[in-house]
Structure 1
Amino acid sequence: MTTENVQHPSLIAPVGHLEPVPRRIRGTLGGRVAFDTRRALYVWERPAYPQFSIPVRDMVDAALIDEGHSELHGAGPARRHTLQVGQEVREGAAWVWEDGAPESLHGTVRFEWEALDSWFEEDEPVFVHPRSPYSRVDALSSSSNVRVELEGVVLAEAPRCVKLFETGLPTRYYLDRLYVDFTRLRHSDTVTRCPYKGTTSSYWSFDGEVATHDDIAWAYDLPTFQANRIAGMVAFLNERVDLYVDGELLPRPSRQSK
């Protein structure tokens, strides 16, 4: 693999990869527990992160209704089912693995994440998708100088930062708000969630002379414990701004998630 113009480690789990989940996994719908298991499997249907595959025998107050339609889902063929939990019905919410999928997946079901009201690892809620066991997030204090420009306008310049290293993503540079020129930014109502960092508290856009640049900066006022060093700080989307670190303009990476 070439490392030219690559500034962060690549993801390592191939599509179709399976691993056991050493955590208790629960899902709820309509105030009821749909499943409760200590025997889930990680299954990678895409390289970025896995999904949970849940043993059918560990479904609690739920029923699956076969919809008679099969598709390939990374690890192999799966048959689409409706999920019913009490009076709650979610069509197309579940995929039961069929012949052609790895044997260890037989007798398990992969749920559409949004079909459930909530997911838990042990007693802690999980948002967006499962955390990959091969991914880590490190937030490190740094004396690197960071300057952010867009359309030639300086939006921030800080003598120090917190660098957030997240597997498979570009380094994010979190800056104290003191060094951000909020007179140039417009607050946005956008909210996003990350299973590793938590829920964003603010987003900002920039209305330039050439174009409007929506949601180019964000903050986590109450991040997860693992990312607590970025609390209240502001990061800009490397992919859409001119980012100078210690005087060097970084190449813009391809578009990624935050």
Structure 2
Amino acid sequence: MERFTPDYPEMIVPVGHVEPVPRRIRGYAGNLPVFDTVRARYVWLWPGYPQYCVPREDIRDGALLDEGRTMALRVGRARRHTLRLGSLTRPGAAWEWADDVPGVAGCVSFRWEAIDAWFEEDEQVFVHPRSPYTRVDALRSGRGVRVMLDGAVLADAPSSVMVLETGLPTRYYLDRVYIDWTRMQPTDTVTSCPYKGNTSGYWSVTTDTATYPDLAWAYDFPTRQVAPIAGLVAFYNERVDLYLDGHLLPRPSGVTRAIWEQQHRV
């Protein structure tokens, strides 16, 4: 089988990489502050995005209960902790890095879901920390985009807004007037992205031979960094035939979609 060669920049951050976080990081659970630090560190447990590491002394007194369990993580050992705030108890919410883990010894990382609200400075962050090595650009393009599946034309647009995100295929966001809505059925699916925000719509697609679930999506109210995509619709490159200026693009591998779903919390 021919190996798919991506036409976009790959993630390059190695597992175990540690860097300072030049932002104030705060976390809340049960409407109570859990930590507040300007000395956080990033650590990469996988190349896609980092975890925050919070110095133990910047965590609310008594909020962590050592469970007496050691965890073997990809970059070293850590002790598992329960988060306890009054009547709120969340087992396995955090882990404190061992003294022999370079760069993050004495720091604590939290499961994202164990903290109800994360903030970088005064702006809330969703899904996972934003990687300082990930760039997301939304560029208007006059190159025509045609989307087909099973021989049916789903969209045929003279232009698009291209979203170029480090480590992922280029996504082509199209004006709705160029989409064949007779083949689109709305679904209840919602996904979130730390770089783009929360989706406002997902659609399944029906061709003459099959129905394909959740093939397209839109952000009606995206983050300001990608404001040009507001109200436009994109299709999964991995699951459709996408032509750019009349040239059929190779479908990205299934691995890229798995990475996309991990980063966007489908």
TM tier relative to shorter chain:
over 0.9
1:241 paired to 2:246? no
Provide the C-alpha distance between the structure 1 equivalents of 2:75 and 2:20, rounded to a whole number of angstroms: 15
Report the equivalent of 1:254. Answer: 253
Give distance in 2, aligned partners of 1:216 and 1:208. Answer: 12
CA contact (8 A) 1:61 1:86 kept: no
Q: Could you give the per-residue CA deviations for residues 139-183 of structure 1, whole angstroms, max 9, x where no partner exists?
A: 010001000011111110100001110000000000001111111
Answer whether contact 2:99 2:106 (CA < 8 A) is retained: no
1:134-213 equivalence runs, <5 A: 134-213=133-212
Instruction: Give me the whole-angstrom Cα distance separating, in 1, the residues matched to 2:187 and 2:201.
Output: 7
CA shift for structure 1 position 221: 0.4
Task: Quote the Cα distance in structure 1 between the aligned partners of 2:184 and 2:221.
Answer: 22
Paired position in structure 2 for 1:10: 10
Query: Percent of counterpart pairs with the same letter?
Result: 60
Q: Secondary structure at the match of 1:106?
A: coil
Asked whether the equivalents of residues 141 and 163 of structure 1 are also in contact (C-alpha less than 8 Å), the reply is yes
The CA distance in 2 between the partners of 1:122 and 1:94, in whole Å, is 22
Residue matched to 1:85: 85
Match of 2:95 in 1: 95
Scaled by the length of structure 1, the TM-score of the pair is 0.95
- CA 1:5 to 1:79, structure 2 compared with 1: closer, same or farther past 3 Å? same
Letter in 2 for 1:91: P
Q: Quote the Cα distance in structure 1 between the aligned partners of 2:37 and 2:152.
A: 53
Q: Which residue of 1 aligns with 2:37?
A: 37
1:71 CA drift (Å): 2.0
For the residue of structure 2 that corresponds to 1:105, the secondary structure is coil
Cα separation, 2, equivalents of 1:129 and 1:106: 21
Determine if contact 1:34/1:62 at 8 Å carries over to the other structure. no
Please state whether the residue corresponding to 2:238 is helix, strand or coil: helix
Query: C-alpha distance in 1, partners of 2:63/2:240?
Result: 49
Checking the alignment, whether the CA contact within 8 Å between 1:32 and 1:61 is kept in structure 2 is no
Aligned partner letter, 1:47: P
Q: Secondary structure at the match of 2:91?
A: strand
Distance in 2 (alpha carbons) for counterparts of 1:74 and 1:42: 14
Counterpart residue number, 1:132: 131
Contact 2:155 2:178 in 1 (8 A): yes
Unaligned runs of 5+ in 1: none
Shift of residue 6 of structure 1? 1.5
Aligned match of 1:117: 116
User: How large is the RMSD of aligned CA atoms in angstroms?
Assistant: 1.4
Cα 1:156–1:106 change in 2 (3 A) is same
Give the CA deviation at 1:5: 2.2
> Which stretch of structure 1 is more off in the superposition, 24-33 or 64-73?
64-73
Q: Which amino acid aligns with 1:42?
A: Y
Match for residue 26 of structure 1?
26
The number of aligned residues is 255
* Residues 94 and 110, structure 1, Cα contact 8 Å, conserved in 2: yes
1:62 shift after superposition: 5.0
Quote the offset at 1:105 in angstroms.
1.0
3-state SS of paired residue (2:189): coil
- Residue 72 of structure 1 and its aligned partner are, at CA, apart by 2.3
1:60 aligned partner: 60
Could you tell me whether the CA contact under 8 Å between 1:81 and 1:93 is conserved in 2? yes
Could you tell me how far apart the structure 2 residues matched to 1:106 and 1:100 are? Answer: 7
Contact 2:4 2:252 in 1 (8 A): no
